[in-house]
Chain A
Amino acid sequence: DIQLTQSPSFLSASVGDRVTITCRASQGTDNYLAWYQQKPGKAPKLLIYAASTLQSGVPSRFSGSGSGTEFTLTISSLQPEDFATYYCQQLNNYPLTFGGGTKVEI
């Protein structure tokens, strides 16, 4: 199984900050790596797929990068609506796995 380790698990930030979240995989994912945003009581929302492709309708302040086993989600200028929990997911091999999540708070 591919284990995904997200860091940090908790992040305190301010509006306008640049935020970076890292996801490390225990083995290669062939870049089948996605990022999701989840707000309390809501379903997750796809932000990035294939490691760096921005999902349609997602603001350009979100970006993804990386390859192999290390991936990064960056929010270039944090907005009030971005305070949420973020998850990475590998979709290369079954079982599909998620990272443990990063909660971004003020």
Chain B
Amino acid sequence: EVQLVESGGGLVQPGGSLRLSCAASGLSLRSYAMNWVRQAPGKGLEWVSTVSGSGGRTYNADSVKGRFTISRDNTKNTVYLQMNSLRAEDTAVYYCVKGRYYMDVWGKGTTVTVSS
């Protein structure tokens, strides 16, 4: 069974940092673009970042540009999201998602809460 498992979420103060991880099982991620998508409490879905299969290209939403960095380690079959300078509006469930032209495998999500 193909699974994506996120970890690293938690409570952090404004201005703080967190690193999310997404570990894959049941498939090798190296051939696939990977994404982070978030959902604030009671709100819709928001795309955050994408990394290409090789890791050579990354794309970020304007709302996180300069603060968040997506990366991957294909030897560990893992994708990361380094989040710096966190703000209250970054509070959300963060999903790790596989795919470029459609997102067919989603993790269960990890919750990030930014609050003092």
Taking Cβ atoms with an 8 Å cutoff, the residues of A that contact B are 32, 34, 36, 38, 42-46, 49-50, 55, 87, 89, 91, 94-101
Contact of A34 with B103 at beta-carbon distance under 8 Å, contacts A43-B109, A94-B50 already known: yes
Q: With contacts A43-B108, A43-B109, A94-B50 known, is A87 near B44, CB below 8 A?
A: yes
Cβ of B95 under 8 Å from chain A: yes
Contact A91 B100 (CB under 8 A): yes
Report whether over half of chain B's contact residues are helix, strand or loop; otherwise say mixed. loop
Contact pattern, B 94-109, Cβ under 8 Å of A = 1, otherwise 0: 0100011111101111
Whether, in the assembled complex, B46 has its beta carbon less than 8 Å from a beta carbon of chain A, the answer is yes
Return chain B residues, CB-CB under 8 Å to A44.
45, 95, 103, 106
A54 CA to B102 CA, complexed, in Å:
12
Judging by beta carbons under 8 Å apart, are A97 and B44 in contact? no
Q: Which residues of B contact A (CB under 8 A)?
A: 35, 44-47, 50, 59, 61-62, 95, 99-104, 106-109
| Nearest residue, chain B, Cβ from A90 | B47
| Residues in A whose Cβ lies below 8 Å from that of B103 | 34, 36, 44, 46, 89, 91
Contact yes or no, A95 B59, CB < 8 A: yes
Q: Is the CB of B101 within 8 A of A49?
A: yes
Beyond A89-B45, A98-B44, 8 additional pairs, beta carbon < 8 A: A34-B103, A43-B95, A43-B106, A44-B106, A49-B102, A87-B44, A91-B99, A91-B101
Q: Which residues of B contact A45 (CB under 8 A)?
A: 106
Question: Which of A32, A44, A99 has the most chain B CB atoms inside 10 A of its CB?
Answer: A44
Give A47 Cβ to nearest chain B Cβ, in Å: 10
A-B pairs, top 5 by smallest CB distance, nearest first, are A49-B102, A43-B106, A96-B47, A98-B45, A94-B59
> 8 A-B residue contacts at CB 8 Å?
A43-B108, A44-B45, A89-B103, A91-B101, A98-B45, A98-B46, A99-B44, A101-B45
Contact (Cβ within 8 A) A50 B102: yes
Instruction: Report whether A46 and B47 are in contact in the complex, using a CB–CB cutoff of 8 Å.
Output: no
Complex CA gap A95/B99 in Å reads: 15
In the complex, which residues of chain B have a beta carbon less than 8 angstroms from the beta carbon of A100?
Answer: 44
